Structure 1
Amino acid sequence: FVENKKVEEPLLLKIQANLPPSRGLGSSAAVAVAFIRASYDYLGLPLTDKELLENADWAERIAHGKPSGIDTKTIVTNQPVWYQKGEVEILKTLDLDGYMVVIDTGVKGSTKQAVEDVHQLCDNDKNYMQVVKHIGSLVYSASEAIEHHSFDQLATIFNQCQDDLRTLTVSHDKIEMFLRLGEENGSV
């Protein structure tokens, strides 16, 4: 970047982000996108979404090796996306009668490690692959629930998916605690 954009003076950067790292929320992609936008703005250079995605994907490869690209694409478009095998389709804005809550459990994790663990489960017992396929079908059902503005149906699908994640051993006691707390207080 320094060579390509002819940055003549050394820069000292301090990055302070509110999105916690290692939680599966895309914090590294968010920081990469923010840094790239700020850099281009500082240099007075135009920046297309295509360039932004290319640079952010490069940064994500440094951080994660072989990321899917969904985090950068979601952040750059700033809209919900349907992502499948590298292809992205922008979805319409969610219009649901209800609230979705994202809670940070404080537990650091690794998406890469979770994926490797699930691969190992599937390699050792083919029944786990059926669970993975069920999650895939739930994703399509969730898309339909969103399309039909059915919050209750979407909540049911999320709960079914969480059951599958438990089976695949990629849930956590703190997640389960928050789910129970939510149910005890009226969440669906």
Structure 2
Amino acid sequence: MNKKTEIKAHGKVILIGEHSVVYGYNALALPIQALNITTTVEQTDGATWMDTNHYHGAFFDAPSEYDGIKYIVKTLLEKVEDAPNVKITYTGEIPMERGLGSSAVVALSTTKALSQFLELNLTQDEVMEITNHAEMINHGKASGLDAATVNSNYLVFFNKQDGPKQLSQKLGATLLIMDTGELGNTKIAVQSVKKQMDESESKKKQIARLGELATATQTNWLKQNAEEVGKIFDEAQSILASFKLSTKRIDNICKIANENGALGAKLSGGGLGGIVIALCPDQKTAQEIAKKASANFDNYWIEEI
């Protein structure tokens, strides 16, 4: 067996289709290479162990937020006769509960690293199945979009029926990603949306509209019509806010962005906190917005898209 295995995986942002993707509608998500985590697996003489920025200790004694990873490690170790005790170390930082895909990144990299370390030779489908099951444990209901995007180097167009399709086409714009510093909670957000849909036909129609907006985004992306994509972002933000998924800080950032040259702005991910994305015509506009909105966020990144 290998003495040490390292696997790096990157984060993502959902451009359009959060929440609606859970119900089978389309969504678009973008890999963010600047945000990544490396998972290292090595044999240990002691108990199976986990080292992260937030937890150092026996793997299976880790808090419940690590239940998805515990499922992965237990499942893969059980595939090997006389499996060794392992130490798994996570280095790098993707802010948690912000919609940046941190749980999917860790799930994917853990599955790949442990598969390689244990010489299991899991197929791509098996890796994704285990990763997505861990995501179901983490979030209660997962579409598969996060796992598909953190496993891709290109924009991902996704629905549950057809799975992920990669788009290498560039839009020709700049994306400003701002971390509000407010912890989102995907599980609570998904439950809240479901409850509202169960109680209201109009809410079901709004979720369907989010799916339509994702399809329209893909169409305009391929035409490199950034202005129209910006308008779509604004409409999507209005719908997400109507589900009470926005916060005062998110609203403030969107307002500042749109008043200072953004083509459109919206929350990204589950909501109730997390990140805001602003579509900008160029780098200079993105930097200007970041400067003016800085009191409302903890950190920001700029991606050419």
TM-score bracket, normalised by the shorter chain, equals 0.7 to 0.9
Structure showing the higher helix proportion among its residues: 1
Q: CA deviation at 1:100?
A: 1.3
Q: Which amino acid aligns with 2:262?
A: S
Identify the residue that residue 165 of structure 2 maps to in structure 1. 90
> How many Å separate the matches in 2 of 1:137 and 1:57?
25
1:26 match = 101
More strand by share: 2
1:46 corresponds in structure 2 to: 121
Q: CA deviation at 1:44?
A: 4.6
Task: Tell me the number of residue pairs that the alignment of Structure 1 and Structure 2 aligns.
Answer: 188
Show the counterpart of 1:107. 182
Unaligned runs of 5+ in 1: none
TM normalised by structure 2 equals 0.56
| CA distance in 1: counterparts of 2:209 and 2:83, whole angstroms | 54
The residue that corresponds to 2:208 in the other structure is 133
TM-score, L = length of structure 1: 0.87
Q: Secondary structure at the match of 1:77?
A: coil
Aligned CA-pair RMSD? 2.1
Q: Tell me the distance in 2 between the aligned counterparts of 1:76 and 1:114.
A: 24
Moved more, 33-42 or 150-159: 33-42
Measured after TM superposition, the shift of residue 142 of structure 1 is 0.8
- Post-superposition shift, 1:4? 0.5
Give the corresponding residue for 2:194. Answer: 119
Contact residue 53 and residue 72 of structure 1 kept, 8 A: yes
- How many Å separate the matches in 2 of 1:149 and 1:57? 32
Identity of aligned residues (%): 28
Task: Provide structure 2 residue ranges, at least 5 long, that are not aligned to the other structure.
Answer: 1-75, 264-305
Higher alpha-carbon deviation: 57-66 or 108-117: 57-66
Retained in 2: the 8 A contact 1:97–1:149? yes
Q: Which residue of 1 aligns with 2:224?
A: 149
* 1:106, distance to aligned residue in structure 2 (A): 1.3
The partner residue of 1:14 within 89, 106, 114 is 89
Deviations 1:88-135 (A, max 9, x none): 141322411211122211111222222222232233333223322222
Shift of 1:178: 1.6
Query: Helix, strand or coil for the counterpart of 1:100?
Result: strand
1:159 is displaced (CA, Å) by: 0.8
Structure of greater relative contact order (alpha carbons < 8 Å, 6+ residues apart): 2
CA distance in 2, matches of 1:40, 1:119: 35
1:66 counterpart = 2:141? yes
Cα contact 2:155–2:166 (8 A) shared by 1? yes
Runs in 1 of length 4+ with deviation above 6 angstroms? Answer: none
Distance 1:94 1:162, change over 3 A: farther
